[in-house]
Structure 1
């Protein structure tokens, strides 16, 4: 009894001193099942990844209206999009054979966007410092339309009259009112800008440049861009990024943050001051209050890892770079071999940023961070050296300090795993899109989460 009371007293003292419950436990995951999306995925390997399964493939797997969607390239170079009725329906695949890629570049991924306003499905694909390739479905395909290749329109190389001749990394995201938007880079690695488009009433509008890199001979790489819905009257759009000074990834540096109250028209720094206007005076790395955490060059910092915003409006960023005690290394590949996963998060009330080093090695792969309905965190991460997939979790109750590995696969997976974020939030099931080593087979693992 004395031992129990002593432990309780210690726990209470820890809560009083830190505000963090001492007995918090990281969430667990229980396997539900694994389905095979394809055994005919594209096998070309570049930049330590495949054309299927890259962190900047946003989204590669996503749930909408009770169905789950996933996109992949097949070995012949055709875009495929599959969907299934949740929780356990079979995958129904569409193979779009009117466009065939010749690329073997793993940057040329397929990203899915779904417009809640009209149920259209949007695909952006096969673009790395080249012309956009884009197509959209008929209205209502995501709600009640016939699942057929004929439901998708022709391939386009622009969204509006604005040229899209040199673009990379399309990222779709939806406003809570149903408006679909897309961010995409113009220019090239080391000298590029981020621009913003908006889809309403069946058509795209160009909003303009919102991050300027070419003026400063650098470019931004987004960790993520997405809305919170803590105030339905004024949803906030959050964006985080790192900056690269040249085409050499060793020159990646620092964590930057901005948010918008008006769908990306104007931008505020961490303190809440308006510092930029899309289309006229965009964000720039040297603007006051945008850099929220210093990470030097030559630290093995990978670009475009992952961001998520929880129900309380707290922004979480998953990055990976060398541990604080490790010496800097100008050899990016060598630096990545010692890189660890690092969790950064912004307290919405105080606007203070926090950093937690995890003990998890990642090497050349990138992880994906996601949140459940209770604001617990989940990471799916790979390891290009061991070919193993890991699931790590942390509880909100601990202040996200109790990071724990909950699953490690056999040595069969490669490239970047992707989490279906909407399904985890709405159904408490984590679906992970994960290519097997070799690229032919792509699995979708389903895990029930308990926080």
Structure 2
């Protein structure tokens, strides 16, 4: 019997020795917390500040070894800050030729960068209202060590991109094509009845590509989780749809992709279903709904999307767990809503869902990816006022979601991740407004997959 037991033990040891270790979610180690400002705009509306909302694409980003971010100060001026990585001091520009009177947290500032001519672009201060836009001189972003960092490097505020009149606009989102062209997506119309339009910047001028999501025909509107190119040049869009201005009518996860810089669009199966400008995407078209999420599920719009190096689309959403009863009271439903990770396998085109146990209440999170396709989430909690970092490993199939950090009860609104720095340099930088709005921190974390 002893010999038999010994043989069993040796056999088990041999088997275990040949078995790979279970995947572990990446860890994070904080390296610094810098104070971006102590004069941020303090108005609190829609449970957030004008500095730090999930739909800012981008609110903080890295280009050519320098990091850029923007914020409103208490006087209503746009501030653009930069620092040389890894540890340079923040250099701030205060653009005082335009002052907002808004206290609406929709009226954020988004930053775009043209890789072709090195211009920095700002879109800001719009919620179903006129465009507010300005850009820098050429080379400001691509020659940061020599270009003059001064307010006069930026042109005047404009209310049109092409010279033609523009409708009421909201949610400016910049993105860059594989060829280095800069694009800008915006919503026209209003909550519950709006479209998505796309513009493109090249050779120093903007042109209208056209309307790519039609919501007004069905009297609803798409809310983008994200709009992003992968390494092969495919443009991926994910969104939810709202039927009225009531957030409880948000429903479902939709997906489409483009092979030609947003000119034509394919559904999940790869069939061409829309042409920008003439026959745009309509959410009810075949193959666009990839996951059913009913109304009254506390589904919040515009959380986050990222595409990894393998071309796998990841969506961070939050809504009620499957077993929870539906609730038409959106605020009450959000108290029980949890973060949910959706992802699309590029080869099989199959979508997957993983519920996490993490709560946010009325806040929204941001999802980022490192060079090894591991995932990182920065999320807030409007009830506890704490900031969290959660991670998941590619090796586990992103099922090992683990809480890696919880802050003191000092943060509020939506944290923002510098996606370029995480993907390219392995550093998780988080734009994090403190409760009250006046102070904004930037946290830096090294990641260890």
For this structure pair, what is the TM-score category when the shorter chain's length is used for normalisation?
Answer: over 0.9
Separation of aligned partners in 1, 2:398 and 2:335: 25
**Which residue pairs with 1:180 in the alignment?**
182
> CA 1:277–1:4 in 2, change beyond 3 Å: closer, same or farther?
farther
1 CA distance for matches of 2:14 and 2:275? 53
> Aligned-residue CA RMSD in angstroms?
1.4
Q: How does 1:8-47 map to 2 (within 5 A)?
A: 9=15, 23-47=22-46
Determine helix, strand or coil for the equivalent of 2:384: coil
In the superposition, the TM-score normalised over structure 2's length comes to 0.96
- Is 1:225 matched up with 2:227? yes
Residue 362 of structure 1: how far off its partner (Å): 1.2
Task: Give me the whole-angstrom Cα distance separating, in 2, the residues matched to 1:27 and 1:240.
Answer: 26
Q: 1:161 maps to which residue?
A: 163
Residue of structure 2 equivalent to 1:404: 402
Q: 1:363-442, aligned counterparts within 5 Å?
A: 363-442=361-440
Give the CA deviation at 1:161: 3.1
8 Å contact kept, 1:60–1:71: yes
Q: Give the conservation status (yes or no) of the 8 Å contact 1:158–1:164.
A: yes
> 1:107 & 1:4 partners in 2: Cα distance?
64
- Provide the C-alpha distance between the structure 1 equivalents of 2:399 and 2:174, rounded to a whole number of angstroms: 31
Change in 2 beyond 3 A, CA 1:10/1:200: same
**Matches of residues 211-250 of structure 1 in structure 2 within 5 Å?**
211-229=213-231, 231=232, 235-250=233-248
Q: Which runs of 5+ in 1 are unaligned?
A: 14-20
Note the C-alpha offset of 1:43.
0.2
The change in CA–CA distance for 1:352 and 1:43 in structure 2 (over 3 A counts) is same
1:279-294 matches, within 5 Å, as 279-294=277-292
Distance 2:61 2:238 in 1: 21
State the match for 1:102 in structure 2.
101
Length-normalised TM-score, structure 1: 0.96
Q: Deviations over 1:168-211 (max 9, x none)?
A: 00000001211100110000000000000000000000010000
Taking the TM superposition and a 5 Å limit, the aligned residue runs for 1:248-397 are 248-397=246-395
Deviation at 1:384, TM superposition (A): 0.1
Residues 115 and 142 in structure 2, CA contact (< 8 A), matched pair in contact too: no
Preserved CA contact (<8 Å) 2:390 2:402: yes
CA distance in 2, matches of 1:80, 1:394: 34
Q: Secondary structure of the residue that 1:246 maps to in structure 2?
A: coil
What is the distance in 2 between the residues matched to 1:147 and 1:5? 67
Structure-2 change in CA distance of 1:4 and 1:172 (3 Å): farther
Q: d(CA) in 1 for partners of 2:206 and 2:26?
A: 41
1:201 to 200, 203, 207: 203
**Residues 22, 398 of structure 1: 8 Å contact kept:** no
Q: Deviations over 1:68-117 (max 9, x none)?
A: 00000000000000000000000000000000000000000000000101
1:24-56 deviation per Cα after TM superposition (whole angstroms, max 9, x unaligned)? 000000011010000000000001100000001
- 1:72 touches 1:81 (CA, 8 Å); kept in 2? yes
On the 8 A contact 1:11/1:23 being kept in 2, the answer is no
Classify the secondary structure of the residue corresponding to 2:333: helix
- For residue 121 of structure 1, report the CA deviation from its aligned partner: 0.3
| Matches of 2:35 and 2:14, distance apart in 1 | 48
Rate the CA distance shift 1:22–1:253 in 2: closer, same or farther, 3 A. Answer: farther
Q: How far apart are the structure 1 equivalents of 2:13 and 2:43?
A: 56
Contact 1:11 1:22 in 2 (8 A): no
Native 8 Å contact 1:173 1:182 kept in 2? yes
Matching residue of 2:63: 64
Cα displacement string for residues 53-74 of structure 1 (whole angstroms, at most 9, x for unaligned residues): 0001111100000000000000
CA–CA separation in structure 2 for the residues paired with 1:7 and 1:50: 56
Query: Which of 1 and 2 has greater Rg?
Result: 2
Report deviation, 1:143. Answer: 2.0
Gapped runs of 5+ residues in structure 2? Answer: 1-5
